[in-house]
Amino acid sequence: MSIGKEKLMAKQNIFLIGFMASGKSTVGEILAGKLQRKFFDTDKLIEGKAGLSIAQIFQEKGESHFREIEADTVKFVTNKNQAVIALGGGAILDSQNWQMIKSAGYTIYLQWDINLLVPRLMNDDSRPLISQRIKNLNKTEIIKLFNSRKNLYESADYSIKCFETDSPDQITNTIIKLLQLENEKNTCYSRT
Ligand code: S3P
């Protein structure tokens, strides 16, 4: 597939957003490779900064401490140029974060049916929002958490509908096609 990297939209960064387990990190890394851009993953940056895993930060310091480091990390990544960034599922909840993200590049929501994500999440110990409350957090509650964020996710510039049969590579190619269309649109505008 010819990507036409040099032409791919000048608008700065590409932010992948979405609920936990939607594949933002995997797709982000592949996308960055294909576009030859730098890749940042806010959760990885946070873990590096804290010297602790996300689960340990939640357990030892609490969610509010995690959200503080996350806000600093969002500031850091929004100052990047032409990068691909995978954001933690809750990074967009803070309105200041969201404003900074929106003005620093394209936001792309990896949109999954929540019923496909629930089984992935139920078996995952690394996600403290789920695992700390796992005994009480049943499917209905995960869906409730998702529904409380859904509108915000859907306010991204673009939503990519993802299906069970989609590989991360296929999702990446869909994003690239979308960005190429965006680039063509901008090229047209600049010629008139
Ligand atoms: C969170 C999502 C996680 C991580 C943290 C909180 C959330 O990232 O940042 O556990 O609030 O949705 P992923 O979306 O990469 O799992």
How much distance in Å is there from the Cα of 130 to the middle of ligand 1? 9
- Considering only the C-alpha atoms of the chain, give the largest distance between any 2 of them, rounded to a whole number of Å: 60
Atom 15 (ligand 1): residue with closest C-alpha?
88
How much distance in Å is there from the Cα of 188 to the middle of ligand 1? 38
Consecutive H or E run containing 26: helix 24-35
How much distance in Å is there from the Cα of 177 to the middle of ligand 1? 27
**Band (186; pLDDT cuts 50, 70, 90):** low
Q: Are 129 and 168 in contact (CB under 8 A)?
A: no
How much distance in Å is there from the Cα of 3 to the middle of ligand 1? 30
**Predicted pLDDT of residue 151:** 98
**Band (184; pLDDT cuts 50, 70, 90):** confident
Q: Are 9 and 106 in contact (CB under 8 A)?
A: yes
- Span 134-156, mean pLDDT? 84
Determine the Cα–Cα distance for residues 100 and 77; give it in Å rounded to an integer.
10
Rg of the chain on CA atoms, in Å: 17
Determine the Cα–Cα distance for residues 174 and 157; give it in Å rounded to an integer.
15
Any ligand 1 atom below 6 A from CB of 23? no
Kindly tell me if the per-residue pLDDT of 3 is higher than 50.
no
Kindly tell me if the per-residue pLDDT of 13 is higher than 80.
yes
Q: Are 162 and 22 in contact (CB under 8 A)?
A: yes
Consecutive H or E run containing 151: helix 139-154
Any ligand 1 atom below 6 A from CB of 20? yes
Determine the Cα–Cα distance for residues 192 and 181; give it in Å rounded to an integer.
17
pLDDT digits (tens, 9 = 90+) for 34-84: 999 999 999 999 999 999 999 889 889 999 999 999 999 999 999 999 999
pLDDT digits (tens, 9 = 90+) for 92-144: 999 999 999 999 999 999 999 999 999 888 767 777 666 654 444 578 888 99
Atom 8 (ligand 1): residue with closest C-alpha?
88
Average pLDDT, the chain: 88
Atom 10 (ligand 1): residue with closest C-alpha?
127
Determine the Cα–Cα distance for residues 145 and 19; give it in Å rounded to an integer.
9
Determine whether 90 is exposed, middle or buried from the number of CB atoms within 10 Å of its CB (0-12, 13-18, 19+). Answer: middle
CA-based nearest residue to 18, from 155, 185, 169 = 155
Q: Are 134 and 122 in contact (CB under 8 A)?
A: yes
Q: Which two tokens stand for residue 132?
A: 């700390």
- Span 165-183, mean pLDDT? 93
